[in-house]
A and B are shown apart, each in its own frame.
Chain A
Amino acid sequence: MAPISTDAVIVGSGAGGGIVAKELASAGWSVVLLERGPWLQSAGFGHVETRDGWVTGIYRVPFGPGPAEIRTVRAGESDSARIVRPRDPLYGTLPACVGGGTVYYGAMAWRFHRETLRLRSHFGLIPGANLEDWPVTYDALEPCYEKAEYELGVSGDENPFGPPRMRPLPLPPVGENTEARVLFPAARRLGWKPFHTPLAILSQAYRGRPACIRCAYCNGYGCEVGAKSSTLVSVIPQALATGNCRLVPNAFVREVTVDRSGKPDGVLFQTGTPGKGAWQKLRARVVVLCCSATETPRLLLNSRSRFFPRGLGNERDQVGRNIDNDGGLFVYGLFGDMVTDQVGPGVCFGVDDFQFRARGREGQSLGAGILSNYHTRGPLGFIRRVHVPENVQPFGAELKNFYRKYFLRSIWLYATCHTYPRYENRVDVDPSVRDARGLPVSRITFRQHPRNADEEQYMAERCEELLREAGATVVVKPLIQRESPQGISTHQVGSCRMGSDPQSSVVDRTGRVHGVPNVYVADGSLLPNPGGANPALTIQALAYWVSSHILRSR
């Protein structure tokens, strides 16, 4: 049987892949979109914390990846790596399903600040940190941000400290809950400028999709009405409606193949139970990798041939390096009064007064980050985070009463912080551990840069300041650990860095792998560094950017 042939194969249907599929299919290209996970429908998503929650759900169905999808982790090259499964906090788990992370994410839709795209120029040389200016400026990316906001559907206020924009957001904010009514006045008393956070959640019916029902189950859950602007319900249906895009769920790609001259000519993929089906060849003129910052490097490194003995695009040993994610921390306050009403979407209060304006204790310039209230605070999440004061009995009626009383008398703040990528941090493939298909698995080597703790400390103090101003009687901050091996969250970025110099990057400024004419990356791997805010919208702006360059390559 002759292999299927297509203009472009896109591997991964998450934040980036869905957009590339829609852009290429709309331009008349024949596209095959391969997704390793299942294709779920919004109507099947639900609200039961134990069943549907991506984090707390018992079965991890329908959000995969399954427990057989192992990885290995270590904190440094001299450590031995240990096997982890998707539930392990060090795994760096992103869901495997059509729409990927955007199905379950909290949908914060921040634009990165101008400075975030030129950290090397802003901070200068920082020992141990591998900072580079991006090969694309904010101004060049601005139209792509706008396109993402309008095509996906983003609601919110104008960020008073945000980077310049040509058009306002397409939709007004979704609305407030009790937390916002406590936090807005307190932040203003501190002289801050709070605003309603940008969310990829519809506040009004938009482009055939309904408005948010305000259930507060955004982060960690699929949206059953389709008001959350995941690629599953926004751009992917548009791609399919062109008639030019074929979506294949449950399709795992093992490698990018090359022809006799060494030019990539497609992929090998398998459908069904891992290790059971036959490997099928899909021939394509262009290959676009959108598998996430932990799986795209694995796919490149597993694509070995006599032309690419170290893996595709890895002649200079750069694939997988510099992997990083933004810092994130929770601070919560206990109050005498009811301060939360469980109305969604939880995140409706944001502050961006601090990015690139803050100074640390030794006067050093900080990137800092954004601060917001938090969504999806189920009972278990609260109880597992709250530190019960020592004067409360550790078990029994007193403990039970404490949990009940403070569940609705508490506010969590969440801060996202800038971090400093390290060259030594890396995803590569484990030399000895293989998955059920017999393929080498991702190996994550990660340790935080010591300066990350300064950023987190600063933001934790701002959260505490606000909670105290709002009337919290008890404020609990996290323990901030310097050079922690904790990392590689869902906000994973940077492992196939964009850059002009092939010596220090994997792809060029158009997203094309250096030295390869027809393989592109369009996911979080591209970002040379995280920002002080959630990365999804920037990944999606870059997906539009890369798509426009792919279309020009024809």
Chain B
Amino acid sequence: MPNDSDLHEAAHTDAPKEHADAGKGELTRRELIGIAAGAIVASPLARLEITAAANQEQAPHFFSREELEMVEILTDRIIPTDDHSPGARAAGVAAYIDGRLAESWEEQPRKVWRDGLKRVDALCQKMHGQPFLKATPEQQVAVLSRMAQNEFHPKSEEEKFFAELKRRTVTAYYTSEIGIHKEMEYKGNTLLKEFAGYEGS
């Protein structure tokens, strides 16, 4: 798939999880090595369900509790619950982002997020005189709107962080079970019961 850089880019800073204490439904390091050594074939994978929601109830791996709560709010404002399906919070997007940042091979993405969240707080302080978690929902939306105002040509650090925030949010949400099946009603993950045969044109 030549020049398909955006899809590669979607995940290129992320790498296989190496934590032996990986959560429910995740491969442990031992299993990874087992597969790499060819000791077992792919069948164990077929029984695993890796979804964003799997991480939901755990303590954060990288974020502080406060940072995680900020990310919960920010991501749920980007993809909210509506009458069609639950939003980012229900899909466990923040915990997913937390897990991906924790396992990243590079330090850079973690720095981008820690600095970015500080800037969100500072912007909220400037606009409304209080930190993000203390602000009203309307004030929080106003902060996000300010960050999103130059989405296609971001200039300030806050605007650049919005692009990163949105990229990670949609990546997590639309690969979660809620995002793929409930929201998008995607059928691709199910087998056809029979071959429809040659139709011609």
Contacts and interface: CB of A to CB of B under 8 A. Distances in A.
A327 B3 CA distance: 7
B3 A67 contact: no
B188 A66 contact: no
A339 to B, nearest CB: 15
Contact of B77 (A55, A250, A390, A395): A395
Contacts of A174: 198
Interface in A351-410: 376, 378-381, 383-385, 390, 394-397, 399-401, 403-404, 407
Contacts of A329: 3
A27 interface: no
B27 interface: yes
B10 to A, nearest CB: 6
B195 A85 contact: no
Interface stretch (B109-117, B120-128, B130-138, B168-176): B168-176
Contact of B16 (A61, A203, A384): A61
Nearest to B9: A89
Given A55-B7, A172-B198, A400-B79, A45 B2 contact: no
B155 interface: no
B180 A41 contact: no
Contacts of B186: 342, 378-379, 407
A160 B82 CA distance: 50
A41 B46 CA distance: 12
B14 A87 contact: yes
Contacts of B41: 38-41, 44, 62
B2 A399 contact: no
A434 to B, nearest CB: 17
Nearest to B184: A379
Contacts of B87: 400
Contact of A39 (B8, B38, B166): B38
Contact of B199 (A44, A175, A390): A175
A328 B4 CA distance: 8
Contacts of A394: 148, 151, 162, 166
Nearest to B87: A400
B144 A325 contact: no
Nearest to A59: B16
Contact of A40 (B42, B82, B105, B189): B42
A384 B167 CA distance: 8
B142 interface: no
Given A39-B41, A380-B175, A486 B170 contact: no
A59 to B, nearest CB: 5
B161 to A, nearest CB: 13
A420 interface: no
Q: Which range contains the number of B residues in contact with the other chain?
A: 35 or more
Interface string A45-79: 11111111001101111101011000000000000
A48 B105 CA distance: 24
B59 interface: no
Given A216-B188, A400-B80, A400-B183, A489 B3 contact: yes
A233 B60 CA distance: 43
B50 A48 contact: yes
B183 to A, nearest CB: 6
Given A56-B11, A184-B201, A273-B36, A62 B42 contact: yes
B188 A215 contact: yes
Contact of B10 (A220, A326, A384): A384
Contact of A400 (B11, B46, B82): B82
A217 interface: yes
A212 B198 CA distance: 11
Interface string A211-248: 11111110110100000000000000000000000000
B106 to A, nearest CB: 9
A61 B170 contact: no
B80 A59 contact: no
B184 A396 contact: no
Contacts of A486: 3, 5
Given A67-B105, A326-B2, A379-B179, A87 B15 contact: yes
Contacts of B175: 49-50, 56, 379-380
14 contacts: A43-B46, A46-B46, A85-B105, A173-B198, A214-B196, A217-B188, A327-B2, A330-B4, A400-B82, A400-B87, A400-B183, A407-B184, A407-B186, A487-B3
Given A43-B46, A385-B6, A395-B166, 15 more contacts: A47-B190, A48-B50, A51-B45, A61-B16, A67-B16, A180-B201, A211-B195, A212-B195, A250-B38, A328-B1, A380-B10, A394-B162, A394-B166, A400-B183, A490-B2
Interface of B: 1-17, 27, 32-33, 35-38, 41-43, 45-46, 48-51, 77-80, 82, 84, 87, 105, 144, 148, 151-152, 162, 166-167, 170-171, 174-176, 179-180, 183-184, 186-192, 194-201
